[in-house]
Amino acid sequence: MSAQPEMPPRTAMEHRTAMQHRTAVRVHPELRPAFEALPQFSDPYEDIEGTREGFHAMLAAVPADRTGVDSERFEIPRADGSALTVGVYRPEGGASSGGGEGAATGQDARTADGGAGRGLPAVLHFHGGGYALGRSLPGQDRTAIALCRELPAVVITVEYRLAPEHRYPAGVEDCYLALEWAAERADGLGIDPARIALAGKSAGGGLSAAVALMARDRGGPEIVHQSLCVPDLDDRVGADEAADAEGSGAEGADAEGALSARVTTGRGVQRAWKHYLPEGMAVADAYAAAARATDLSALPPAYVLVCDLDPMRDAGLAYARRLMDAGVPVTVRNVPGAWHGFELFAPETRVAKEMTAHWTGQLRAALYPVG
C-alpha cells in the first residue's frame, strides 16, 4: 500500500476559511445567507463614541413605525442630583401622566383592559448592547413599540448609564430606580401595579435578572415575570477562551475556530465585562452577574431564551436550571443554528419571527393570565 502524500501546512487564512465553512454547516439553513453576508467583527470599545454614533445613524436612517403608540420622556432624580431618563410608551389614546407626578389625563389607558379598572400591565424594558451601547433614539425604541402594540402594555425604556464611563453598579441601580418610580406612580401612568414585568435581551437580560434579585432582597416592587432573552448574566463566560488567546497571541478562533471573525464569541463577552465591572473587582457580585447569586428562591417566574451558537447559551441554560431547582417556574427556548443577535441581520426569516412570537407570547401570557 502506498503512503499518502504529506499535505503542506495550511496558511492562517486557509485554516480560518475551513473553520468558517465547518461552522456554517451548523448554522440554520434559513440563516446561512445572512451568516455569509455578515461583516467582519470589530472591537466596539476601540472607539466607543464612534460605535454609538454609528448605531444611532443606522437607526435614524429608517425611523421606527410608531403607528398606534404614544410616548413621553421623564426625568427621574437620582440621589446625587443627576437625572435618569426613561421613555414611557402607551397604546395611542391611553393615559398621559403629564410629567409623571400628577393624575392621568386624556382617555384613561385602563379602559383598554376590558374596563376592569386595573390599568394596563407594564414592562420595564432594558436594552442590550454589552452594557455600553444600544440605546435607541428618543421615542424610537422598536422593541418597546412592538410590545406596547402587541401585548398591549405600558412599556418603560430605561436610559441607564453606560460603561465604560459609568461602571457597575451605575447601570443596574438606574434600572432598579426606574422600577421603583414606575411602581410608585402606577396610577398616574395607567399601570396595574400587580402586573409589572422585566424584559431585556443580552445585557438587558442580565440587568432584568439582577433587578429581580434586587427587588426580592430589598423588599421592592412586586414583579410577575422576568423575560431573559439571550441573557448576559455570567462574567465567567469566555474567560478560558480569552486566557488561551492571550497566551497564544491568537486573534483567530473560538472553541472551534469558526465564528470569531463574524459574530460574538467568548472573548467578545469578556471584553464587555472588562469594561462594565469596576477596575480591580476580581469576582463579580450577584447584582452585577446574576449567575453569581447563591440563592435563587422566591424569584418571579422566568422565561429564558438562548441561541445555539451563542457563547452565552450554556450560562443561560445553567441559570434556568438553577431557577427550576429553586422552585421558580421557568420556560426555556433554544433557537437551533442561530447566533447572538441573529435577528438583527435576518429579521424577515421564519426563524427570527418564530423566536420573537414565542418570547412575546410568553410575556403576554404572564401579564394576561387565564382565570
- Separation of alpha carbons 311 and 331, rounded Å: 20
Q: Which of 129, 74, 124, 61 is nearest to 100 (CA)?
A: 74
**Position with higher pLDDT, 110 vs 197:** 197
Q: Which residues contact 290 (CB under 8 A, 6 or more apart)?
A: 206, 209, 210, 212, 213, 231, 233, 234, 319
Q: Is the pLDDT of residue 1 over 80?
A: no
Question: Which is it for strands 302-307 and 330-335: parallel, antiparallel or unpaired?
Answer: parallel
Over the stretch 350-364, which tens digit does the pLDDT of each residue have?
999 999 999 999 999
Q: At what angle do helices 350-367 and 142-150 cross, to 10 degrees?
A: 60
Structure confidence at residue 212 (pLDDT): 99
Structure confidence at residue 87 (pLDDT): 98
- Mean pLDDT across 318-336: 98
**Position with higher pLDDT, 244 vs 192:** 192
Structure confidence at residue 95 (pLDDT): 56
Over the stretch 10-31, which tens digit does the pLDDT of each residue have?
444 443 444 444 455 699 999 9
- Separation of alpha carbons 118 and 132, rounded Å: 36
Question: Which is it for strands 69-77 and 83-91: parallel, antiparallel or unpaired?
Answer: antiparallel
Q: Is the pLDDT of residue 115 over 80?
A: no
Over the stretch 118-128, which tens digit does the pLDDT of each residue have?
799 999 999 99
C-alpha grid cell for residue 46? 476601540
Confidence at 111, pLDDT banded by 50, 70, 90 = very low
Buried b (16+ CB within 10 A) or exposed e, 233-261: bbbbbbeebbeebeeeeeeebbeebbbbb
Q: Is the pLDDT of residue 2 over 50?
A: no
- Separation of alpha carbons 319 and 312, rounded Å: 11
Confidence at 154, pLDDT banded by 50, 70, 90 = very high
Structure confidence at residue 307 (pLDDT): 98
Structure confidence at residue 243 (pLDDT): 65
**Beta partners for residue 305, in sequence order:** 229, 333
Over the stretch 35-91, which tens digit does the pLDDT of each residue have?
999 988 788 999 999 999 999 999 999 999 999 999 999 999 999 999 999 999 999
Structure confidence at residue 41 (pLDDT): 79
- Strand-by-strand arrangement of the 330-335 sheet: 69-77, 83-91, 154-158, 120-126, 191-201, 225-229, 302-307, 330-335
C-alpha grid cell for residue 249? 497571541
Among the options 113, 192, 235, 310, which is catalytic? 310
E strands along 212-287, which residues? 225-229
- Separation of alpha carbons 183 and 219, rounded Å: 13
- Mean pLDDT across 310-333: 98
- Separation of alpha carbons 252 and 241, rounded Å: 11
Give the distance between the most distant pair of CA atoms in the chain.
90
Over the stretch 256-288, which tens digit does the pLDDT of each residue have?
444 556 899 999 999 999 999 999 998 899 999
Structure confidence at residue 144 (pLDDT): 98
- Separation of alpha carbons 95 and 110, rounded Å: 8
- Separation of alpha carbons 46 and 128, rounded Å: 19
Structure confidence at residue 17 (pLDDT): 45
Global model pTM greater than 0.75: yes
Residue 274 vs residues 45, 163, 231: alpha-carbon distances, Å: 10, 10, 17
Helix (H) or strand (E) holding 70: strand 69-77
Question: What's the DSSP call for residue 274?
Answer: H
Among the options 97, 136, 202, 227, which is catalytic? 202
Structure confidence at residue 240 (pLDDT): 83
340 among known catalytic residues = yes
- Mean pLDDT across 297-311: 97
Q: Is the pLDDT of residue 137 over 70?
A: yes
- Separation of alpha carbons 150 and 358, rounded Å: 13
Which residue type, as a one-letter code, is found at position 259? L
- Separation of alpha carbons 222 and 211, rounded Å: 11
Residue whose C-alpha cell is 451601547 = 133
- Separation of alpha carbons 280 and 288, rounded Å: 14
Q: Which of 295, 300, 296, 287 is nearest to 329 (CA)?
A: 300
Q: Is the pLDDT of residue 214 over 60?
A: yes
Q: Which of 134, 122, 186, 123 is nearest to 160 (CA)?
A: 134
Structure confidence at residue 241 (pLDDT): 75
**Position with higher pLDDT, 103 vs 27:** 27
Structure confidence at residue 93 (pLDDT): 80
Over the stretch 161-177, which tens digit does the pLDDT of each residue have?
999 999 999 999 999 99
- Mean pLDDT across 128-156: 97
Over the stretch 218-253, which tens digit does the pLDDT of each residue have?
999 999 999 999 999 999 999 987 666 555 554 444
Q: Which residues contact 248 (CB under 8 A, 6 or more apart)?
A: none
202 among known catalytic residues = yes
- Mean pLDDT across 107-116: 39
